[in-house]
Structure 1
Amino acid sequence: MAGPLPVGDPMPGDGALPDDAVIDAHTPFSVYLHVPFCRVRCGYCDFNTYTATELRGARQDAYADTLLHEVRLAARVLGAHAPLRPAQTVFFGGGTPTLLPPGDLGRMLGGVRDAFGIADDAEVTVEANPDTLTDDVAAQLRASGVTRLSIGMQSAVPHVLAALDRTHDPANVTAAVSAARRAGLAVSLDLIYGAPGESLDDWRTSLTAVLALDPDHVSAYALIVEDGTRLARQIRRGEVVAPDDDLQADMYEYADELLASAGYEWYEISNWARTDDQRSRHNLAYWRGADWWGFGPGAHSHVAGTRWWNVKHPAAYAQRLGAGLSPGAGCERPDAEAARLENVLLRSRLREGMRTDELTAAGRRAVASLIADGLVDGAAAVGGRLVLTLRGRLLADTVVHALTAP
């Protein structure tokens, strides 16, 4: 299960935004739908997910109806401040959303459509485990309005999947992609690199397999050891070796080189797409500071400068909604300085970068040394934008620290 929730102010029982919250009708609105169920807990995972033995009375078969209570609550809350905006993107994440029947996912999406509307050209993504995706499932998802699948491939090498506690059959990734294509769905493949025992040759095998499947989009994330996970305990006991930073850097550089040679362009540090249209519009909404409402246990939301997060456990989530209360556990309104720091942290990750005039005077002075160190693109900086080089992407935390230092 995920770590502790943030410390913030109490959330009003009715979920109301602050009276002075001003919703900008021109700010895009997105929806995140969290499905917190998994068959097996992966040793590295720190997401808010639950296996069957951890549900403590929460019912997976009643989950869609429970979540729809929050959708209706959200419409009331947002409608009290401004006309409701249609969702530009919808993302089903988890957990494993495809553990629920396609009909349940469709009803959840229908509830969002009824409450807010969904833009005609909306991107609607479902995360999928390869073993759960069949032709019938893909066709039902497409019929309900889903446009895109994000398939958790992670690796094409069996011993790497075993190290990550992934239980899917690597051969089923090919079958899942084929099913998605037949249903007319766009495909993203998600990878993790740097698992215990994974070599550069193993990583090359996975990337080659990805390119053979010709996805629209590729995400590749370095394995991070999160406190409280089984992997962290295994490393602490000396049972497995911690990820090697230098090897992970080599893996990233190789991925960027191979993907670029196949026509994929990085648009965020861990994400590549062939065209602008194939980028994840939902994730771009987060990085660009749009408004979104996250539905489900442990989900986070951001609207009109206010952030809040829901209670974590599905049983507590269902109990609060059943009592007519908001499932929000806490909220906060970051001040101008915190918002500025977050803007630098998020926007600097993008290929489009950020305007240098959004930096403080100290941040602008730091740009020259970052260019000299090969971390920031000098030509882009002359044009007034801060864009990371390949080396800068590898040392993004260092760049952000320099840009935000007093």
Structure 2
Amino acid sequence: MPSALPLGDPAPADGLLPTSVVDGVAERAFGVYLHVPFCRVRCGYCDFNTYTATELRGVSQSEYAGHAQREVDFAARALELSGLPAREASTVFFGGGTPTMLPASDLAGMLAAVRDAWGLASGAEVTTEANPDSVDAAYLRSLADAGFTRVSFGMQSAVPHVLATLERTHDPERVPLVVEWARDAGLQVSLDLIYGTPGESLEDWERSLDSAIACRPDHLSAYSLIVETGTKLARQIKSGQVAEPDEDLQADMYELADARLADAGYGWYEVSNWARDDDHRSRHNLAYWQGHDWWGVGPGAHSHVGGVRWWNVKHPAAYAGRVLAGESPAAGRETLDAETRRVERVLLLTRIRDGIATAELDQHGRTAVAGLIADGLVDARAALRGTIELTLSGRLLADAVVRRLLDD
């Protein structure tokens, strides 16, 4: 089942934010995330806030787009009444779940609501996630006609037994087809891969990488499999039905991915993300890592504006009840203090290739840099230029690098 929401302070029903969110707003971009919490089946490794048809209880999937549009209208009013200046959305991201479980007209209507509420900046990036078996050529053309610019396909693997362990339902041979259809529609394409699945060999992973690269996507993401507490996969591992992921093998897989992708012309720009060039980076995800503002629409969606973070109620029925009543669907929120924001900034910026300026570190962090260079975890030349940039070894130990930059 989906993981629990974090604890926090009560969120006001009117959705208004404290006056502090206005500080520094001119330096922050604004994006919109729209969560579509529906999947045909629940994959055994997934703990995202998603629901199959039998789990909806009291709400119809066909009504969802209208509920999301109501929250968009609510959000626009709340931001205006909180004193924030009008800002066009520079990025819009439809995630899930499987957004393309909904008709293309529903996604188009939700995007139109964002456009009506805030406007879209010139050259705005508009992305939807999709499963390879959830779209066809006509569907992708409809998305492009509606203003979508990018699609991110959940490929995960090209090896049938790995897909079976992950409980993914698509035929790997369909991936090149959907990539071609998306490209013909004028959409940029990203492929998502997962490595370290129980039973997956280095040769299996190499096959998946080669298959993904052969599709010539604009962008690739490669994530190590994380076994989340409460998932079916976690129970299978605990009972001995499947083996626990091998962290050493996962490290070998990451190194292989980086080498193969570099040879194919892709550059890393975040620990788990590679792009053909800077223009094809995921600008929406970069906005998260760089601490910009976004409003998250939908059940369980998280938002952040000016150091205030909040999260919506999880179940679609509870969410519908709130938005239909004209109330904020937020279940709780927190206002980050200066130290928490500093720590999060170090944590997030360290993960991206652009890095964090050494000047932003405290005295302890600046002192730690020399040792990180000596250990081969931070690039020496970049440090001399005043920026912390991870080496390949540093990316494999990114969490440890952050701890050494922060811990006294």
Q: Paired residue for 1:167?
A: 169
Q: How far apart in 1 are the matches of 2:121 and 2:356?
A: 27
Whether contact under 8 Å (2:74, 2:328) holds in the other structure is yes
- Alpha-carbon deviation of 1:25? 3.2
Amino acid at match of 2:254: Y
SS in 2 for 1:130: coil
- Alpha-carbon deviation of 1:26? 3.6
* Deviation per residue, 1:106-164 (Å, 9 max, x gap): 00000000000011200000101000121100000000000000000000000000010
Whether contact under 8 Å (2:21, 2:84) holds in the other structure is no
Q: Please, what is the CA RMSD of the aligned residues?
A: 0.8
Correspondence for 1:305 among 290, 307, 314: 307
Whether contact under 8 Å (1:356, 1:386) holds in the other structure is yes
- Residue 296 (structure 1) aligned with residue 298 (structure 2): yes
Please show how residues 265-284 of structure 1 align to structure 2 within 5 Å: 265-284=267-286
- Alpha-carbon deviation of 1:368? 0.8
Instruction: After superposing the two structures, state which structure 1 stretch, 261-270 or 13-22, moved more.
Output: 13-22
Correspondence for 1:382 among 375, 381, 384: 384
Identical-pair percentage = 65
> CA 1:20–1:396 in structure 2 vs 1: closer, same or farther (change >3 Å)?
closer
Please show how residues 332-371 of structure 1 align to structure 2 within 5 Å: 332-371=334-373
Q: Paired residue for 2:28?
A: 27
SS in 2 for 1:249: helix
- TM-score, normalization: structure 1? 0.99
- Alpha-carbon deviation of 1:217? 0.3
* Deviation per residue, 1:240-278 (Å, 9 max, x gap): 111100000000000000000010000000000111000
Q: How far apart in 2 are the matches of 1:311 and 1:15?
A: 13
* Deviation per residue, 1:256-312 (Å, 9 max, x gap): 000000100000000001110000000000000000000000000001111100000
Amino acid at match of 1:319: G
- Residue 71 (structure 1) aligned with residue 54 (structure 2): no
Whether contact under 8 Å (1:98, 1:128) holds in the other structure is yes
Q: How far apart in 1 are the matches of 2:37 and 2:86?
A: 27
Q: Paired residue for 1:4?
A: 4
Q: Paired residue for 2:178?
A: 176
- Alpha-carbon deviation of 1:79? 1.0
Whether contact under 8 Å (2:154, 2:191) holds in the other structure is yes
Q: Paired residue for 1:315?
A: 317
Q: Paired residue for 1:16?
A: 16
SS in 1 for 2:26: coil
Q: How far apart in 1 are the matches of 2:101 and 2:332?
A: 29
- Number of aligned residues: 406
For structure 2, the 5+ residue unaligned runs are: none
Q: Paired residue for 1:216?
A: 218
Q: Paired residue for 2:288?
A: 286
Amino acid at match of 1:64: A
Amino acid at match of 1:317: Y
Please show how residues 45-194 of structure 1 align to structure 2 within 5 Å: 45-80=46-81, 81-194=83-196
Structure 1 stretches (4+) deviating beyond 6 angstroms? none
* Deviation per residue, 1:156-208 (Å, 9 max, x gap): 00000001010111111111111101101000000000001000000010011
Amino acid at match of 2:33: Y
Q: Paired residue for 1:395?
A: 397
Q: How far apart in 1 are the matches of 2:270 and 2:118?
A: 29
Whether contact under 8 Å (1:39, 1:52) holds in the other structure is yes
Amino acid at match of 2:5: L
Q: How far apart in 2 are the matches of 1:9 and 1:385?
A: 36
SS in 1 for 2:84: coil
Q: How far apart in 1 are the matches of 2:72 and 2:269?
A: 31
Q: How far apart in 2 are the matches of 1:238 and 1:376?
A: 39
Q: How far apart in 2 are the matches of 1:102 and 1:165?
A: 25
* Deviation per residue, 1:364-393 (Å, 9 max, x gap): 111111111111111111111101000000
Q: How far apart in 2 are the matches of 1:294 and 1:74?
A: 9
Whether contact under 8 Å (1:133, 1:179) holds in the other structure is no
Amino acid at match of 1:63: Y
Amino acid at match of 1:48: N
- Alpha-carbon deviation of 1:20? 4.0
Q: Paired residue for 1:200?
A: 202
- TM-score, normalization: structure 2? 0.98
> CA 1:20–1:205 in structure 2 vs 1: closer, same or farther (change >3 Å)?
closer
Q: How far apart in 2 are the matches of 1:319 and 1:213?
A: 43
- Alpha-carbon deviation of 1:2? 2.2
Q: Paired residue for 1:257?
A: 259
Q: How far apart in 2 are the matches of 1:82 and 1:13?
A: 18
SS in 2 for 1:132: coil
Q: How far apart in 2 are the matches of 1:363 and 1:120?
A: 39
* Deviation per residue, 1:46-84 (Å, 9 max, x gap): 111001111011110000000111001101011121232
For structure 1, the 5+ residue unaligned runs are: none
SS in 2 for 1:190: strand
Amino acid at match of 1:68: Q
Q: How far apart in 1 are the matches of 2:251 and 2:345?
A: 25
Q: How far apart in 2 are the matches of 1:144 and 1:52?
A: 27
Whether contact under 8 Å (1:298, 1:310) holds in the other structure is yes
Amino acid at match of 1:60: Q
Q: How far apart in 2 are the matches of 1:40 and 1:66?
A: 23
